[in-house]
């Protein structure tokens, strides 16, 4: 098994077969992770560099650990501590990393399309770890993996995605990924945070969280992305959480065996009450664990492709 393309830039241009291949490989990687040794030679001699222009805890660390568990050389660069702060361009920074012998370059950038641009200028495989408001493909893949593990399937699931859809690359990647695998997606959020013409993706849009959550197998809450917003998209955080926050009452409308997800970081009391975030039906911790397995699979498949 290997991937067709040099880079992993977005779910939009992947097919169900490629997605399935990554999820299957991630299953084996999770077994390795749980086996406890956390050491495989799969990426021996390979170098993985993460280049992050935005903050991250989960995504960056999981790529780093995934690389290390598979025996790769792993290094990290953040914009604030690098020559980016001295005015170097993205392409020059990328090429510098490339010519040091990097095999996989993982990038997060505030501008949509930055990973695509970089990919055209480096020999290394580029992985998009979040570009602006565009895509976060590895997050969607770990979300699919978690749903499949918990529900046994993706096809036929009704997945409600609730909150700040406008600013969420997680939502966009999940909308593509879920529908490619046969799930239906129901969106709800303040009208000011719902992208225009999002229905054209095939997702159903509702004005209230109640309608989206009703009968859902999975409810995915999104973080309120205050750092990406100009003011005035909603009256107050209290109002947002009253209408679009997920709590026990709202979840009662979903299927009795509902699975609750959130990409993290969670604003407790805003998108989710602590009671539901920490409940048995919450998959938030599993999403994080699965993030390591899925990124191991992606790095492995990309590195193998090079051989």
Residues found near ligand NCD in the complex (CB under 6 A): 58-59, 130, 136, 139, 169-170, 223, 225, 263-264
| Rg of the chain on CA atoms, in Å | 19
Instruction: Give min distance, CB of 52 to ligand NCD, in A.
Output: 10
Instruction: Give min distance, CB of 59 to ligand NCD, in A.
Output: 4
Q: How deeply is 126 buried, as exposed, middle or buried, from its count of CB atoms within 10 A (0-12, 13-18, 19+)? A: buried
- Pick 10 or 263: Cβ nearer ligand NCD: 263
Instruction: Give min distance, CB of 244 to ligand NCD, in A.
Output: 14
Residue 165 near residue 174 (C-beta atoms within 8 A): no
- Pick 61 or 253: Cβ nearer ligand NCD: 61
- Pick 49 or 170: Cβ nearer ligand NCD: 170
- Pick 42 or 282: Cβ nearer ligand NCD: 282
Instruction: Give min distance, CB of 152 to ligand NCD, in A.
Output: 24
Residue 191's nearest CA partner among 267, 230, 264, 243 is 243
Residue 124, CB-side half-sphere exposure with 13 Å CA sphere? 28
- Pick 59 or 102: Cβ nearer ligand NCD: 59
Residue 168 near residue 188 (C-beta atoms within 8 A): no
Distance, CA of 264 to CA of 288 (rounded, Å): 9
Instruction: Give min distance, CB of 78 to ligand NCD, in A.
Output: 14
- Pick 130 or 195: Cβ nearer ligand NCD: 130
Instruction: Give min distance, CB of 287 to ligand NCD, in A.
Output: 8
Q: Identify the sign of the CA torsion 43, 47, 51, 56.
A: positive
Question: In terms of DSSP H, where are the helices of 5-99?
Answer: 16-35, 58-69, 90-98
Dmax (CA) of the chain: 55
Nearest-CB residue for ligand NCD = 223
């Amino acid at each position: 098994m290997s991937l067709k393309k040099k880079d992993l830039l977005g779910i939009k241009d992947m097919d169900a077969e490629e997605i399935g291949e990554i999820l299957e490989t991630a299953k084996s990687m999770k077994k390795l992770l749980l086996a406890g040794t956390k050491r495989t030679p799969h990426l021996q001699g390979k170098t993985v560099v993460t280049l992050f222009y935005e903050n991250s805890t989960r995504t960056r660390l999981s790529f780093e650990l995934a690389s290390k568990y598979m025996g790769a050389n792993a290094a990290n660069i953040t914009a604030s501590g690098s020559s980016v702060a001295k005015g170097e361009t993205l392409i020059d920074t990328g090429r510098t990393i490339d010519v040091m012998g990097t095999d996989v370059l993982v990038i997060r950038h505030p501008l949509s399309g930055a990973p695509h641009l970089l990919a055209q200028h480096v020999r290394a495989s580029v992985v998009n770890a979040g570009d602006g408001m565009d895509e976060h493909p590895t997050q969607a893949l770990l979300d699919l993996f978690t749903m499949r593990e918990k529900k046994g399937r993706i096809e036929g699931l009704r997945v409600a995605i609730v909150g700040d859809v406008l600013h969420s690359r997680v939502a966009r990647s999940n909308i593509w990924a879920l529908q490619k695998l046969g799930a239906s997606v129901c969106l709800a959020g303040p009208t000011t945070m719902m992208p225009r013409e999002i229905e054209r993706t095939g997702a159903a849009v509702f004005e209230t969280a109640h309608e989206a959550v009703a009968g859902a197998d999975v409810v995915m809450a999104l973080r309120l992305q205050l750092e990406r917003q100009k003011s005035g998209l909603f009256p107050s955080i209290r109002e947002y959480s009253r209408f679009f926050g997920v709590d026990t009452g709202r979840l009662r409308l979903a299927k009795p065996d509902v699975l609750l997800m959130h990409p993290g970081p969670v604003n407790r009391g805003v998108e989710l009450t602590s009671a539901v975030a920490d409940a048995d039906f919450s998959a938030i911790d599993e999403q994080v664990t699965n993030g390591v397995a899925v990124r191991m699979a992606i790095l492995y498949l990309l590195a193998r492709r090079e051989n």
